[in-house]
Amino acid sequence: MTDLVSSESRPDLRRSLADGRSLRSSLLTLGAWAVALLAAVPLFSVLYMLVVKGGARLSTALFTELPPAGFEMGGGFGNAILGTVVMVAIASVLSIPLGILAATYLADLGPERRLASAARFLAKVLTGFPSILAGVFIYAAVVLLMGSYSAIAGGIGLAVLMLPTVILTAEESMKMVPRRMKDAAIGMGCTRSQVIWKVVLPTGLPGILTGVILAVARVAGESAPLLFTALFSSYWMETLHEPTASLSILIFNFSSMPFDNQIELAWAASLVLVLIVLVFNLLSRLIGRAKV
């Protein structure tokens, strides 16, 4: 039998690159770093391009003026920003209460019931639902019925896309509320709804808000569901029942126009949209980290 480790002499404990294991470990670490950097390249190159091409046109006029027609110079996309905000607000008003109530059922009231597992499965399917189909569906269900493209139809289209995200993230954060906290509430003499209102929802709130904000950020940039529902408009919106402009559709329209002015505006609109989404993402991280 040969001695693998001799106990007689002083052991050599120094790191040595000549040792195969040590070398492989260093190479793998290096490789992981390189891949991580590579993954960040697309994000940063898009941001860089947007800042370079869209940054030049950033001014207050963008937010206050209407889109230019044809050969007009200048202009902005105030109506598109307003339209996006209004439609995202409609979508939020529809999907957030509905989503949180559904999540309450899934997480707390009947987590084991067949209805719950069916609803959970459908919500998961819906997260991967092609957004263009949401648009077509709302076109058939709302636009044809109301007789016109509208901000309402656009908002409903976005709500369809928001709903599953809200349901699943809210369910997840409500499930994180420890069993013993609910027991404490029951032991204090809370009814079932009081347990939910006074303990489960407040405790899960940071997580729920994170999910809601991420859902908002996601749909704020959606264009497909708005194509068939809100269409576009070059004017300020006056009612919720008329075709309405949005940032994403403006980018879509203007980027294919043969006019330099419009193309510049499309770049600027892209930058504004990305900034809005970025702010929402940062907000969600801040709230998610907040502890009572």
Partner 1 sequence: MTATLEAVDADFTAEVQAGTIEVAMPPTLAIDCRVDRLYYGDFLAVRDSHLPIEKGKITGFIGPSGCGKSTVLRSLNRMNDMIPSFRLEGYVHFLGSDIYARHVDPVVVRRYIGMVFQQPNPFSMSVFDNVAFGLRLNRYKGDIAGKVEQALRRAALWDEVKNKLKASGLSLSGGQQQRLCIARAIATDPPVLLMDEPCSALDPIATRRIEELMVELKASYTIAMVTHNMQQATRVADNTAFFSVDISQGGRTGYLVEMGETQQIFEAPREQLTKGYLRGEFS
Q: Which residues bind partner 1 (CB under 8 A)?
A: 178, 180-181, 183-191, 194, 198-199, 202-203, 291-292
DSSP label at 148? S
- Whole-number minimum distance, CB 178 to partner 1, in Å? 7
Which of residues 198 and 241 has its CB atom nearest to partner 1 in the complex? 198
Which of residues 85 and 190 has its CB atom nearest to partner 1 in the complex? 190
Which of residues 136 and 186 has its CB atom nearest to partner 1 in the complex? 186
Which amino acid, one-letter code, is at 74? G
Per the CB < 8 A criterion, the answer to whether 214 and 221 are in contact is: no
- Whole-number minimum distance, CB 32 to partner 1, in Å? 35
- Whole-number minimum distance, CB 215 to partner 1, in Å? 23
Per the CB < 8 A criterion, the answer to whether 244 and 87 are in contact is: yes
- Whole-number minimum distance, CB 212 to partner 1, in Å? 19
- Whole-number minimum distance, CB 194 to partner 1, in Å? 7
- Angstrom CA distances, 142 to 187, 233, 283, stand at 48, 19, 33
List of residues 6+ apart from 276 with CB closer than 8 A: 217, 220, 247
Please return the burial class of 31, using the count of CB atoms within 10 Å of its CB with bins 0-12, 13-18 and 19+: exposed
Which of residues 115 and 181 has its CB atom nearest to partner 1 in the complex? 181
Nearest of 108, 125, 131, 119 to residue 228 by alpha carbon: 131
Which of residues 158 and 201 has its CB atom nearest to partner 1 in the complex? 201
